[in-house]
Structure 1
Amino acid sequence: MTFRFDPYSPLIDADPFPAYKVLRDEHPCFWSEEAGMWVLSRYDDILAALTNWKLYSSANGNLIDEFPGRAGATLGSSDPPRHDRLRALIQSAMTKRALDHVLDPARASIRAHLAAVKAGDSFDFVNDLGSKVTVDLLFYLFALPREGAEQVRENAVLMVQTDPVTRQKTEAHLAAFRWMADYAERLVADRKKHPGDDLLSNFITAEVDGEKLLDREVQLTVTTLIMAGIESLSGFMGMFALNLADYPDARRALAADPALIPDAMEESLRFNTSAQRFKRCVTQDIALHGQTMKAGDFVMLAYGSANRDERMFADPDVYDITRRPKRHLGFGGGVHSCLGSMLARVACQIVFEEFLAAIPEFSRIDKTLPWVPSSNFRSPKSLMLAKG
């Protein structure tokens, strides 16, 4: 039987790891007809691609299914020197002070949402806790008007999805991107008139060597951060909660000793990262594992597979919170390592400190989970948990 790898398949959403192992062992440089691009699955090959942007370019987009006008215009979809300029400006805006402001609001947010779920016997971690806390944090960081929170969340979730039947972004997904871009444009225009002590104002005023971000760069940065923040951070938390539900000994260890949470988060990022696959474009012919990727071909970097590569990690299919996997690719790598990784780690640690203190015992209700249909990300649409 001919092996196929379809990143749009619901079976891949549910469990990509058996297919990843076949890719690593038998087809380490594989042409996917369904995706229309090559797939790299081994840790060393993906790390090499991440650290060589001249050969593996992001300038034609980094999402498997890219939005019109985004490629080359954002931090994740550009190469140096443009990427370096954008990163320096954005990094100068994301000061430690701006991130420190998250600590108290994150704790207050999770406590408020926990109070709402503690009354019942069961709850949906994704929609009752993780997603709500993430939206709260983003709205606080950017000082956004609260009345638009639910619409922002709905459009951000739509943006990361792909239709599993048509294998592309549908009009609904593109409309969500346009809505978010218009929303960001209005925010930037208003904040330029009424600056404040928030991350959006920092983006507008950030300056490095006499340069500032252009209005469109600020708009696309905000659009991307809201999309990635709501999906990636909420997905990160959802996958961590899923791991702790599936591995009760690990959960009980963390509940008994919260100091173990940071290492457990790193293991979850390795074992079950929500950021599964991203795209590059090869700039010249590359011979690899008996195949030749031609200049101009797209290539999929399967981070989720690299993090389960036994060539890099011993017993990779074992969830071990004492592992300390320092070189995992849960936040990418190279020049495109996630700029929001520090914020994600801090926020997630606070959420799970409070969550496990309030609800130390829980279990999954549904053996089969509904997954967000996405060619890039993997996270549950909902995660119903029973307390006790």
Structure 2
Amino acid sequence: MTRSNVTETHFNHHDPQIMQDPYSLYTKLRSGKCPLGHSDQLGGFYFPTSYDGVKRVFSDFRTFSSAEGSGLPDQLVRLLPVDLDPPQHTRWRRVLNRFFTQEAADADRVRVQNVADTLIDDFIERGSADAVNELTRPFLAMTMLPVLGVPMEDRRMIGDKLLWMVHNRMVDHDGWVQRYGEIAEYLTAICTARRTAPRKDDLVQCLIEEEFDGRKLTDVEGYQVLLLTLFGALDSTSSAMSGSLFHLARNPADKARLTSGEVPWPVAIEEFLRFTTPITALRRTVTQPTELDGGPLEPGDFVLALNGAANRDPAKFPEPDKCIIDRDARDHMTFGSGGHVCIGRHYARVMLETCLKTMLARVPDFSVPDDFRPEYTPSEARALKTLPITFTPGRRLKAA
């Protein structure tokens, strides 16, 4: 099979216009002569558009390696442990997993609920809000940044810098580099300070105490783990929340089915995760000659595994462009697959369910204006920029 069998495109997941609706492109490629696409952008890369193709890229680390980076283009630093292959990756995950188990997420539900109620209190008397900038984005910052030791007065600043970094690295490279340096200085300072502070049982403490290959981690290595944690927590989960709220605002019948208990929350949550797919793509590097989605690949080729393409493959999910909240979507690729499956997936589900349940309980009639046209951010993380909602004003739970 020759490379001519591969479908040529100008696809670029950092292109704002393309990422308003990438799914139509995936559908077109799947129905063509070869579902494996090739783009001449970003130095050139291949991308499968079938569910099976994407799952294989995520699962077969011997053929599709993460060791040269998972972003396209490269991040300025290696992000740990996502930019590693087994056995190094397995060692890191074994250490970090205990902070992100289902039990840990469930034990944190009271705190997560308090964050949701606090944020809703800030706008519930007004009868209107921007659900993205007043709820879903600060929700993640208020939930995760305290775990990393970031004081209250710095949380908005850190959240804003990280959000900018995720969505602007192809727009303003100098600004991107500057913010990388500022975040690096801030997070390494947290690790340094904690070495002489009273001991806590948290992720930062783990990073300064754990030994790898007979040595302690440096503050820079700790920063590389913390930065990845923040990228995943502050943007991707927020994107799933806002996309789910948008669907419910436009589909009141689904609100009623959830509120009545007709559709169990765990079932609906998986469909929301499939349908929104906040992380759109992760890169791998081919290590040996192989074939993927009917196209040939050679060592050194870059492959972009498109989570969104997998989640909209009609061969796996009938009527994939519809959000069917009672669908069995447990096999979605939103969290990836294989050894690199998202370590924060249990927390993400708890936060998504808490956010949606609380909104339906406290502002059940929230809606989006008929003339609202969604605009999405590009990059590996695709997110609504804003979501204006209106509703019948309600009461605060706490004093102002």
Normalised TM-score (structure 2): 0.89
1:130-279 residue pairs with structure 2 within 5 A? 130-162=136-168, 167=170, 170-194=173-197, 195-206=199-210, 213-257=217-261, 260-279=264-283
Closer, same or farther: CA 197–11 of 1 in aligned 2, 3 Å:
same
Q: Could you report, residue by residue, the CA deviation over 1:37-73 in whole angstroms, capped at 9, with x for unpaired residues?
A: 1111100011111111010001111112221231xx5
2:9 and 2:37 in contact (8 A); partners too: no
Unaligned runs of 5+ in 2: 1-7, 393-400
SS at match of 1:117: coil
* Letter paired with 2:38: W
Closer, same or farther: CA 321–98 of 1 in aligned 2, 3 Å:
closer
Alignment of 1:48 onto 2:48: no
Query: Which one is further off, 130-139 or 24-33?
Result: 24-33
Matches of 2:302 and 2:213, distance apart in 1: 34
Q: Match of 2:29?
A: 23
Matches of 2:148 and 2:62, distance apart in 1: 34
- Which of 367, 371, 374 is matched with 2:372 structurally? 367
SS at match of 2:367: strand
* Letter paired with 2:18: I
* Letter paired with 2:75: F
Q: Match of 1:79?
A: 85
* Letter paired with 1:382: T
Closer, same or farther: CA 95–44 of 1 in aligned 2, 3 Å:
closer
Unaligned runs of 5+ in 1: none
Closer, same or farther: CA 208–283 of 1 in aligned 2, 3 Å:
closer
Matches of 1:261 and 1:267, distance apart in 2: 10
Task: Report the alpha carbon displacement of residue 327 of structure 1 after superposing the two structures with TM.
Answer: 0.7
SS at match of 2:122: helix
Matches of 2:297 and 2:85, distance apart in 1: 20
Task: Report the alpha carbon displacement of residue 361 of structure 1 after superposing the two structures with TM.
Answer: 1.5
Closer, same or farther: CA 116–378 of 1 in aligned 2, 3 Å:
same
Query: Which one is further off, 35-44 or 365-374?
Result: 365-374
Matches of 2:238 and 2:378, distance apart in 1: 15
SS at match of 2:17: helix
* Letter paired with 2:112: A
2:51 and 2:310 in contact (8 A); partners too: yes
Q: Could you report, residue by residue, the CA deviation over 1:109-158 in whole angstroms, capped at 9, with x for unpaired residues?
A: 11111111111232111111111111111123223211111110111101
Matches of 1:93 and 1:316, distance apart in 2: 34
Alignment of 1:32 onto 2:35: no
* Letter paired with 2:200: G
1:246 and 1:363 in contact (8 A); partners too: yes
Q: Could you report, residue by residue, the CA deviation over 1:309-357 in whole angstroms, capped at 9, with x for unpaired residues?
A: 0111122122111112111001111111000000111122122221110
Q: Match of 2:77?
A: 69
Matches of 1:269 and 1:12, distance apart in 2: 21
Closer, same or farther: CA 237–32 of 1 in aligned 2, 3 Å:
same
Matches of 1:130 and 1:252, distance apart in 2: 22
1:89 and 1:208 in contact (8 A); partners too: no
Q: Match of 1:110?
A: 116
1:30 and 1:39 in contact (8 A); partners too: yes
Q: Match of 2:5?
A: none
Normalised TM-score (structure 1): 0.91
- Which of 9, 14, 18 is matched with 1:12 structurally? 18
Matches of 1:204 and 1:353, distance apart in 2: 37
Q: Match of 1:283?
A: 287
Q: Match of 2:131?
A: 125
Task: Report the alpha carbon displacement of residue 295 of structure 1 after superposing the two structures with TM.
Answer: 0.8
Query: Which one is further off, 146-155 or 279-288?
Result: 279-288
Matches of 1:59 and 1:296, distance apart in 2: 12
SS at match of 2:303: strand
1:142 and 1:199 in contact (8 A); partners too: yes
Task: Report the alpha carbon displacement of residue 284 of structure 1 after superposing the two structures with TM.
Answer: 1.6
* Letter paired with 1:283: T
SS at match of 1:299: strand
1:61 and 1:279 in contact (8 A); partners too: yes
Q: Could you report, residue by residue, the CA deviation over 1:143-181 in whole angstroms, capped at 9, with x for unpaired residues?
A: 321111111011110121145xxx466111222222222
Task: Report the alpha carbon displacement of residue 211 of structure 1 after superposing the two structures with TM.
Answer: 7.1
Task: Report the alpha carbon displacement of residue 12 of structure 1 after superposing the two structures with TM.
Answer: 2.4
1:89 and 1:212 in contact (8 A); partners too: no
Task: Report the alpha carbon displacement of residue 285 of structure 1 after superposing the two structures with TM.
Answer: 2.2
Closer, same or farther: CA 259–215 of 1 in aligned 2, 3 Å:
farther
